[in-house]
A and B are shown apart, each in its own frame.
Chain A
Amino acid sequence: MKFAIQINEGPFTHQAADTAYQFTKAALENGHEIFRVFFYHDGVNNGTMYGVPPVDDRNVSALWSELAEKHDLDLVVCVAAAQRRGIMDADEAKRHGKGASNIAPKFRISGLGQLIEAGIQADRLLVFGD
Protein backbone atom coordinates (compact mmCIF):
# COMPACT_ATOMS: atom_id res chain seq x y z
CA MET A 1 0.00 0.00 0.00
CA LYS A 2 1.06 3.55 -0.74
CA PHE A 3 1.09 5.96 2.21
CA ALA A 4 1.51 9.73 2.32
CA ILE A 5 2.54 11.40 5.58
CA GLN A 6 1.93 14.98 6.69
CA ILE A 7 3.84 16.35 9.70
CA ASN A 8 2.57 19.53 11.32
CA GLU A 9 5.00 19.98 14.21
CA GLY A 10 8.72 20.46 14.56
CA PRO A 11 11.12 18.16 16.37
CA PHE A 12 11.29 17.93 20.18
CA THR A 13 8.39 20.12 21.38
CA HIS A 14 5.80 17.63 20.16
CA GLN A 15 6.04 13.89 19.65
CA ALA A 16 4.36 14.18 16.24
CA ALA A 17 7.54 13.94 14.16
CA ASP A 18 8.79 10.99 16.22
CA THR A 19 5.50 9.12 15.84
CA ALA A 20 5.47 9.86 12.12
CA TYR A 21 9.04 8.59 11.85
CA GLN A 22 8.26 5.34 13.68
CA PHE A 23 5.15 4.86 11.54
CA THR A 24 7.07 5.50 8.32
CA LYS A 25 9.88 3.13 9.36
CA ALA A 26 7.40 0.39 10.28
CA ALA A 27 5.50 0.87 7.01
CA LEU A 28 8.71 0.51 4.98
CA GLU A 29 9.82 -2.54 6.99
CA ASN A 30 6.48 -4.16 6.22
CA GLY A 31 6.82 -3.69 2.49
CA HIS A 32 4.64 -0.63 2.07
CA GLU A 33 5.54 2.35 -0.07
CA ILE A 34 5.84 5.92 1.24
CA PHE A 35 4.79 8.20 -1.60
CA ARG A 36 5.90 11.36 0.16
CA VAL A 37 6.48 12.92 3.58
CA PHE A 38 5.22 16.50 3.60
CA PHE A 39 6.36 18.91 6.32
CA TYR A 40 3.93 21.74 7.07
CA HIS A 41 3.33 24.36 9.79
CA ASP A 42 6.19 24.12 12.34
CA GLY A 43 6.88 20.70 10.85
CA VAL A 44 9.22 22.45 8.41
CA ASN A 45 11.64 22.83 11.32
CA ASN A 46 12.39 19.12 10.98
CA GLY A 47 14.23 20.13 7.83
CA THR A 48 17.02 22.09 9.50
CA MET A 49 20.55 20.75 9.37
CA TYR A 50 21.66 22.91 12.29
CA GLY A 51 20.07 20.97 15.14
CA VAL A 52 22.64 19.63 17.60
CA PRO A 53 20.76 17.70 20.29
CA PRO A 54 22.66 16.14 23.21
CA VAL A 55 24.41 12.91 22.24
CA ASP A 56 22.16 10.78 24.44
CA ASP A 57 19.02 12.05 22.65
CA ARG A 58 17.79 11.24 19.15
CA ASN A 59 18.36 13.71 16.33
CA VAL A 60 14.97 13.75 14.63
CA SER A 61 16.11 15.62 11.50
CA ALA A 62 19.09 13.31 11.05
CA LEU A 63 16.87 10.25 11.47
CA TRP A 64 14.70 11.48 8.61
CA SER A 65 17.72 12.16 6.43
CA GLU A 66 19.08 8.66 7.12
CA LEU A 67 15.74 6.98 6.46
CA ALA A 68 15.38 8.96 3.23
CA GLU A 69 18.89 7.97 2.16
CA LYS A 70 18.17 4.30 2.80
CA HIS A 71 14.73 4.19 1.14
CA ASP A 72 14.94 7.08 -1.29
CA LEU A 73 12.11 8.90 0.47
CA ASP A 74 10.68 12.13 -0.89
CA LEU A 75 10.90 14.59 2.04
CA VAL A 76 9.16 17.82 1.05
CA VAL A 77 9.22 20.99 3.12
CA CYS A 78 6.43 23.46 2.29
CA VAL A 79 7.96 26.58 0.81
CA ALA A 80 5.45 29.07 2.23
CA ALA A 81 5.70 27.63 5.74
CA ALA A 82 9.49 27.35 5.42
CA GLN A 83 9.94 30.97 4.34
CA ARG A 84 8.02 32.15 7.41
CA ARG A 85 10.25 30.07 9.66
CA GLY A 86 13.62 30.52 8.01
CA ILE A 87 14.22 27.11 6.48
CA MET A 88 15.98 27.59 3.15
CA ASP A 89 17.81 25.69 0.48
CA ALA A 90 20.61 27.34 -1.50
CA ASP A 91 18.29 28.78 -4.16
CA GLU A 92 15.88 30.23 -1.61
CA ALA A 93 18.71 31.69 0.48
CA LYS A 94 20.13 33.38 -2.61
CA ARG A 95 16.74 34.70 -3.73
CA HIS A 96 16.06 36.24 -0.33
CA GLY A 97 19.57 37.56 0.22
CA LYS A 98 20.32 35.29 3.15
CA GLY A 99 23.86 34.18 3.90
CA ALA A 100 23.48 30.42 3.87
CA SER A 101 21.04 27.61 3.38
CA ASN A 102 20.14 25.39 6.30
CA ILE A 103 18.13 22.57 4.78
CA ALA A 104 19.12 19.09 5.90
CA PRO A 105 20.27 16.40 3.46
CA LYS A 106 17.56 14.66 1.43
CA PHE A 107 14.93 17.31 2.24
CA ARG A 108 13.68 19.49 -0.61
CA ILE A 109 11.56 22.63 -0.66
CA SER A 110 8.43 22.76 -2.77
CA GLY A 111 4.88 24.02 -2.85
CA LEU A 112 1.63 23.00 -1.19
CA GLY A 113 0.56 21.37 -4.43
CA GLN A 114 2.88 18.52 -3.44
CA LEU A 115 0.63 17.81 -0.45
CA ILE A 116 -2.51 17.75 -2.58
CA GLU A 117 -0.77 15.53 -5.13
CA ALA A 118 0.25 13.18 -2.31
CA GLY A 119 -3.39 13.00 -1.23
CA ILE A 120 -4.41 12.14 -4.77
CA GLN A 121 -1.68 9.60 -5.47
CA ALA A 122 -1.44 7.77 -2.14
CA ASP A 123 -3.90 5.15 -0.92
CA ARG A 124 -3.88 6.68 2.56
CA LEU A 125 -2.78 10.04 3.92
CA LEU A 126 -1.97 10.31 7.62
CA VAL A 127 -1.53 13.60 9.46
CA PHE A 128 0.70 13.81 12.53
CA GLY A 129 0.49 16.96 14.61
CA ASP A 130 -0.37 18.54 17.92
Chain B
Amino acid sequence: MDNDTGMIDRAATVAARATPPRLVRRVRGLSDKAIAWLFIAPTMILLLVINIFPLIWTIQLSFTNYRANRPNAEVVNVGLRNYERLLTDPDVWIAMQTTAQFVFWSILLQTVIGFSLAYLIDRKFRGHAFWTTVILIPMMLSPAVVGNFWRFLYQPQIGLFNYIVSFFTGVEPSSFEMLGSVSLAPWSIVIVDTWMWTPYVMLICLAGLRSIPDYIYEAAEVDRASPWRQFWSITVPMALPFIMLAVLFRGIENFKMFDMVNLLTGGGPGSITEVASITLKRQAFEAWRTGPSSAFAIILFVAVFGLANIYVKALNRVKQR
Protein backbone atom coordinates (compact mmCIF):
# COMPACT_ATOMS: atom_id res chain seq x y z
CA MET B 1 0.00 0.00 0.00
CA ASP B 2 2.70 2.40 1.02
CA ASN B 3 4.82 1.29 -1.88
CA ASP B 4 1.99 1.79 -4.35
CA THR B 5 1.26 5.31 -3.32
CA GLY B 6 4.87 6.28 -2.76
CA MET B 7 5.20 8.03 -6.08
CA ILE B 8 1.85 9.76 -5.75
CA ASP B 9 2.82 10.97 -2.29
CA ARG B 10 6.07 12.34 -3.56
CA ALA B 11 4.32 14.08 -6.41
CA ALA B 12 1.76 15.39 -3.97
CA THR B 13 4.52 16.84 -1.82
CA VAL B 14 6.01 18.48 -4.86
CA ALA B 15 2.62 19.89 -5.77
CA ALA B 16 1.86 20.88 -2.19
CA ARG B 17 5.00 22.91 -1.94
CA ALA B 18 3.75 25.05 -4.81
CA THR B 19 0.25 25.39 -3.33
CA PRO B 20 -0.65 28.31 -1.15
CA PRO B 21 -2.20 26.85 2.03
CA ARG B 22 -5.49 28.69 1.63
CA LEU B 23 -6.17 26.87 -1.62
CA VAL B 24 -7.73 23.82 0.01
CA ARG B 25 -10.99 24.03 -1.78
CA ARG B 26 -13.30 21.54 -3.40
CA VAL B 27 -14.43 23.78 -6.23
CA ARG B 28 -13.18 22.09 -9.36
CA GLY B 29 -13.57 25.04 -11.69
CA LEU B 30 -14.50 23.86 -15.15
CA SER B 31 -15.53 20.26 -15.67
CA ASP B 32 -13.07 17.96 -17.44
CA LYS B 33 -15.38 17.69 -20.41
CA ALA B 34 -15.59 21.45 -20.78
CA ILE B 35 -11.83 21.77 -20.57
CA ALA B 36 -11.29 19.04 -23.14
CA TRP B 37 -13.48 20.84 -25.66
CA LEU B 38 -12.16 24.26 -24.74
CA PHE B 39 -8.62 23.04 -25.40
CA ILE B 40 -9.34 21.21 -28.63
CA ALA B 41 -11.79 23.67 -30.16
CA PRO B 42 -9.33 26.45 -31.20
CA THR B 43 -7.23 23.99 -33.22
CA MET B 44 -10.33 22.51 -34.82
CA ILE B 45 -11.75 25.92 -35.67
CA LEU B 46 -8.48 27.03 -37.24
CA LEU B 47 -8.28 23.86 -39.32
CA LEU B 48 -11.92 24.20 -40.36
CA VAL B 49 -11.36 27.78 -41.51
CA ILE B 50 -7.97 27.35 -43.18
CA ASN B 51 -8.30 23.77 -44.45
CA ILE B 52 -11.84 22.48 -44.62
CA PHE B 53 -13.71 25.55 -45.78
CA PRO B 54 -11.24 26.12 -48.65
CA LEU B 55 -11.45 22.43 -49.49
CA ILE B 56 -15.23 22.65 -49.83
CA TRP B 57 -14.80 25.79 -51.88
CA THR B 58 -12.37 23.98 -54.16
CA ILE B 59 -14.86 21.15 -54.65
CA GLN B 60 -17.53 23.68 -55.56
CA LEU B 61 -15.21 25.52 -57.97
CA SER B 62 -14.17 22.26 -59.60
CA PHE B 63 -17.64 22.00 -61.14
CA THR B 64 -17.44 25.46 -62.72
CA ASN B 65 -15.49 27.36 -65.37
CA TYR B 66 -14.49 30.09 -62.87
CA ARG B 67 -11.34 32.09 -63.58
CA ALA B 68 -9.74 33.89 -60.64
CA ASN B 69 -8.34 36.66 -62.85
CA ARG B 70 -11.85 37.49 -64.10
CA PRO B 71 -13.88 37.66 -60.91
CA ASN B 72 -16.77 39.47 -62.62
CA ALA B 73 -17.23 37.07 -65.52
CA GLU B 74 -20.28 34.85 -65.50
CA VAL B 75 -19.67 31.54 -63.74
CA VAL B 76 -21.21 28.56 -65.45
CA ASN B 77 -21.78 25.25 -63.78
CA VAL B 78 -20.19 22.65 -66.02
CA GLY B 79 -20.96 19.57 -63.97
CA LEU B 80 -18.35 16.83 -64.21
CA ARG B 81 -16.85 18.12 -67.43
CA ASN B 82 -13.62 19.35 -65.74
CA TYR B 83 -13.02 15.91 -64.29
CA GLU B 84 -13.84 14.19 -67.57
CA ARG B 85 -11.43 16.38 -69.48
CA LEU B 86 -8.64 16.00 -66.93
CA LEU B 87 -8.87 12.25 -66.72
CA THR B 88 -8.79 11.95 -70.51
CA ASP B 89 -6.12 14.62 -71.00
CA PRO B 90 -2.84 12.98 -72.07
CA ASP B 91 -0.83 15.88 -70.59
CA VAL B 92 -2.24 15.19 -67.14
CA TRP B 93 -1.32 11.53 -67.41
CA ILE B 94 2.16 12.48 -68.57
CA ALA B 95 2.51 14.75 -65.52
CA MET B 96 1.35 11.89 -63.29
CA GLN B 97 3.86 9.56 -64.93
CA THR B 98 6.64 12.12 -64.50
CA THR B 99 5.70 12.41 -60.83
CA ALA B 100 5.63 8.63 -60.41
CA GLN B 101 9.04 8.23 -62.04
CA PHE B 102 10.52 11.00 -59.93
CA VAL B 103 9.04 9.48 -56.75
CA PHE B 104 10.24 5.99 -57.68
CA TRP B 105 13.85 6.81 -58.53
CA SER B 106 14.48 9.32 -55.76
CA ILE B 107 13.00 7.02 -53.13
CA LEU B 108 14.84 3.97 -54.44
CA LEU B 109 18.17 5.81 -54.24
CA GLN B 110 17.38 7.34 -50.85
CA THR B 111 16.36 4.00 -49.39
CA VAL B 112 19.40 2.11 -50.66
CA ILE B 113 21.90 4.80 -49.64
CA GLY B 114 20.03 5.72 -46.45
CA PHE B 115 19.79 2.14 -45.22
CA SER B 116 23.44 1.44 -46.07
CA LEU B 117 24.53 4.53 -44.18
CA ALA B 118 22.40 3.59 -41.19
CA TYR B 119 23.88 0.09 -41.25
CA LEU B 120 27.40 1.52 -41.32
CA ILE B 121 26.68 4.04 -38.55
CA ASP B 122 25.24 1.21 -36.46
CA ARG B 123 28.76 -0.32 -36.43
CA LYS B 124 29.18 2.27 -33.65
CA PHE B 125 32.68 3.39 -34.60
CA ARG B 126 34.22 6.19 -32.60
CA GLY B 127 32.75 9.57 -33.50
CA HIS B 128 29.63 8.14 -35.14
CA ALA B 129 27.34 10.54 -33.28
CA PHE B 130 29.20 13.57 -34.63
CA TRP B 131 29.22 12.33 -38.23
CA THR B 132 25.54 11.42 -37.99
CA THR B 133 24.74 15.03 -37.09
CA VAL B 134 26.85 16.28 -40.02
CA ILE B 135 25.05 13.97 -42.43
CA LEU B 136 21.65 15.14 -41.14
CA ILE B 137 22.23 18.81 -41.98
CA PRO B 138 20.96 18.89 -45.60
CA MET B 139 17.48 17.66 -44.70
CA MET B 140 16.89 20.56 -42.31
CA LEU B 141 17.60 23.23 -44.91
CA SER B 142 15.10 25.01 -47.12
CA PRO B 143 14.64 22.96 -50.32
CA ALA B 144 13.88 26.17 -52.21
CA VAL B 145 16.86 28.19 -51.05
CA VAL B 146 19.35 25.35 -51.40
CA GLY B 147 17.73 24.10 -54.62
CA ASN B 148 18.18 27.59 -56.03
CA PHE B 149 21.90 27.40 -55.35
CA TRP B 150 22.14 24.00 -57.05
CA ARG B 151 21.29 25.84 -60.28
CA PHE B 152 24.72 27.41 -59.92
CA LEU B 153 26.41 24.07 -59.23
CA TYR B 154 24.78 22.68 -62.38
CA GLN B 155 25.98 25.48 -64.71
CA PRO B 156 27.61 23.82 -67.71
CA GLN B 157 30.77 25.94 -67.91
CA ILE B 158 31.35 27.32 -64.43
CA GLY B 159 29.40 24.94 -62.21
CA LEU B 160 31.16 22.81 -59.64
CA PHE B 161 29.05 19.73 -60.39
CA ASN B 162 30.02 19.63 -64.05
CA TYR B 163 33.62 20.30 -63.10
CA ILE B 164 33.73 17.40 -60.65
CA VAL B 165 32.06 15.03 -63.13
CA SER B 166 34.55 16.08 -65.78
CA PHE B 167 37.43 15.69 -63.31
CA PHE B 168 36.54 12.05 -62.67
CA THR B 169 35.30 11.01 -66.11
CA GLY B 170 37.22 13.25 -68.51
CA VAL B 171 33.99 14.41 -70.18
CA GLU B 172 34.21 18.03 -71.30
CA PRO B 173 32.41 20.11 -68.57
CA SER B 174 30.64 22.30 -71.11
CA SER B 175 29.50 19.31 -73.18
CA PHE B 176 26.54 18.46 -70.99
CA GLU B 177 23.86 20.55 -69.38
CA MET B 178 22.16 19.00 -66.36
CA LEU B 179 19.19 21.34 -66.27
CA GLY B 180 18.84 22.13 -69.94
CA SER B 181 18.93 18.71 -71.57
CA VAL B 182 15.89 16.51 -71.93
CA SER B 183 17.67 13.34 -70.82
CA LEU B 184 19.54 14.81 -67.83
CA ALA B 185 17.06 17.29 -66.34
CA PRO B 186 14.99 14.64 -64.48
CA TRP B 187 18.19 13.23 -62.99
CA SER B 188 19.37 16.64 -61.87
CA ILE B 189 16.25 16.82 -59.69
CA VAL B 190 16.64 13.24 -58.45
CA ILE B 191 20.25 14.01 -57.47
CA VAL B 192 19.36 17.10 -55.42
CA ASP B 193 16.41 15.33 -53.81
CA THR B 194 18.60 12.36 -52.91
CA TRP B 195 21.31 14.62 -51.53
CA MET B 196 18.75 16.39 -49.39
CA TRP B 197 16.55 13.55 -48.13
CA THR B 198 18.83 10.51 -47.82
CA PRO B 199 19.58 11.61 -44.22
CA TYR B 200 15.86 11.42 -43.48
CA VAL B 201 15.63 7.78 -44.55
CA MET B 202 18.92 7.09 -42.78
CA LEU B 203 17.68 8.47 -39.48
CA ILE B 204 14.52 6.34 -39.51
CA CYS B 205 16.44 3.22 -40.61
CA LEU B 206 18.95 3.82 -37.84
CA ALA B 207 16.12 3.82 -35.30
CA GLY B 208 14.95 0.55 -36.83
CA LEU B 209 18.39 -1.05 -36.53
CA ARG B 210 18.75 0.12 -32.96
CA SER B 211 15.37 -1.33 -32.04
CA ILE B 212 16.65 -4.86 -32.73
CA PRO B 213 17.56 -6.40 -29.38
CA ASP B 214 21.09 -7.78 -29.02
CA TYR B 215 19.92 -11.14 -27.72
CA ILE B 216 18.52 -12.06 -31.14
CA TYR B 217 21.98 -11.71 -32.67
CA GLU B 218 23.49 -13.56 -29.72
CA ALA B 219 21.06 -16.44 -30.27
CA ALA B 220 21.89 -16.45 -33.99
CA GLU B 221 25.57 -16.54 -33.11
CA VAL B 222 24.98 -19.55 -30.86
CA ASP B 223 23.17 -21.22 -33.76
CA ARG B 224 26.20 -20.41 -35.94
CA ALA B 225 24.23 -18.37 -38.46
CA SER B 226 26.58 -16.65 -40.92
CA PRO B 227 26.73 -12.82 -40.88
CA TRP B 228 25.07 -12.87 -44.33
CA ARG B 229 22.25 -15.02 -43.01
CA GLN B 230 21.92 -12.83 -39.91
CA PHE B 231 21.62 -9.75 -42.09
CA TRP B 232 18.83 -11.17 -44.26
CA SER B 233 16.94 -13.12 -41.58
CA ILE B 234 17.22 -10.70 -38.67
CA THR B 235 18.39 -7.22 -39.63
CA VAL B 236 16.30 -6.61 -42.75
CA PRO B 237 12.97 -8.10 -41.59
CA MET B 238 13.16 -6.41 -38.21
CA ALA B 239 14.05 -3.03 -39.66
CA LEU B 240 11.47 -3.37 -42.43
CA PRO B 241 8.58 -1.54 -40.75
CA PHE B 242 10.89 1.43 -40.23
CA ILE B 243 12.09 1.34 -43.83
CA MET B 244 8.45 1.23 -44.94
CA LEU B 245 7.63 4.17 -42.75
CA ALA B 246 10.47 6.19 -44.27
CA VAL B 247 9.41 5.21 -47.80
CA LEU B 248 5.81 6.23 -47.17
CA PHE B 249 6.77 9.56 -45.63
CA ARG B 250 9.07 10.33 -48.53
CA GLY B 251 6.45 9.06 -50.97
CA ILE B 252 3.87 11.53 -49.74
CA GLU B 253 6.35 14.40 -49.59
CA ASN B 254 7.76 13.72 -53.04
CA PHE B 255 4.31 13.31 -54.51
CA LYS B 256 3.65 16.91 -53.43
CA MET B 257 7.12 18.09 -54.49
CA PHE B 258 7.11 21.64 -55.75
CA ASP B 259 9.92 23.82 -54.34
CA MET B 260 12.94 22.11 -55.80
CA VAL B 261 11.47 21.40 -59.21
CA ASN B 262 10.09 24.91 -59.55
CA LEU B 263 13.49 26.43 -58.86
CA LEU B 264 15.74 23.96 -60.63
CA THR B 265 13.90 23.48 -63.91
CA GLY B 266 10.48 25.08 -63.51
CA GLY B 267 9.12 21.96 -65.20
CA GLY B 268 11.36 22.32 -68.23
CA PRO B 269 12.98 21.87 -70.60
CA GLY B 270 9.58 21.86 -72.31
CA SER B 271 7.54 19.83 -69.87
CA ILE B 272 10.01 17.01 -69.27
CA THR B 273 10.20 17.59 -65.51
CA GLU B 274 6.67 18.86 -65.13
CA VAL B 275 5.47 16.98 -62.03
CA ALA B 276 1.84 17.22 -60.94
CA SER B 277 2.42 20.21 -58.63
CA ILE B 278 4.04 22.20 -61.42
CA THR B 279 1.20 21.40 -63.84
CA LEU B 280 -1.24 22.52 -61.19
CA LYS B 281 0.66 25.74 -60.59
CA ARG B 282 0.83 26.51 -64.32
CA GLN B 283 -2.90 25.84 -64.72
CA ALA B 284 -4.02 27.67 -61.60
CA PHE B 285 -1.66 30.61 -61.30
CA GLU B 286 -0.39 31.20 -64.83
CA ALA B 287 -3.27 30.17 -67.11
CA TRP B 288 -5.78 31.12 -64.37
CA ARG B 289 -8.03 28.21 -65.25
CA THR B 290 -9.29 28.08 -61.69
CA GLY B 291 -12.24 25.71 -62.26
CA PRO B 292 -10.36 22.91 -64.05
CA SER B 293 -7.33 23.31 -61.79
CA SER B 294 -9.59 22.96 -58.75
CA ALA B 295 -10.73 19.65 -60.18
CA PHE B 296 -7.09 18.66 -60.62
CA ALA B 297 -6.40 19.68 -57.01
CA ILE B 298 -9.23 17.43 -55.83
CA ILE B 299 -7.84 14.51 -57.83
CA LEU B 300 -4.47 15.07 -56.14
CA PHE B 301 -6.17 15.30 -52.72
CA VAL B 302 -7.80 11.93 -53.25
CA ALA B 303 -4.50 10.40 -54.34
CA VAL B 304 -2.60 11.78 -51.34
CA PHE B 305 -5.40 10.80 -49.01
CA GLY B 306 -5.13 7.23 -50.28
CA LEU B 307 -1.40 7.30 -49.55
CA ALA B 308 -2.08 8.82 -46.12
CA ASN B 309 -4.38 5.95 -45.24
CA ILE B 310 -1.73 3.41 -46.11
CA TYR B 311 0.72 5.45 -44.08
CA VAL B 312 -1.44 5.47 -40.96
CA LYS B 313 -1.87 1.70 -41.18
CA ALA B 314 1.88 1.25 -41.47
CA LEU B 315 2.39 3.67 -38.61
CA ASN B 316 0.11 1.63 -36.39
CA ARG B 317 2.02 -1.51 -37.26
CA VAL B 318 5.27 0.12 -36.25
CA LYS B 319 3.71 1.32 -33.02
CA GLN B 320 2.52 -2.17 -32.13
CA ARG B 321 6.08 -3.46 -31.99
Do A and B make up one complex?
no
Binding site for B on A (CB under 8 A): none
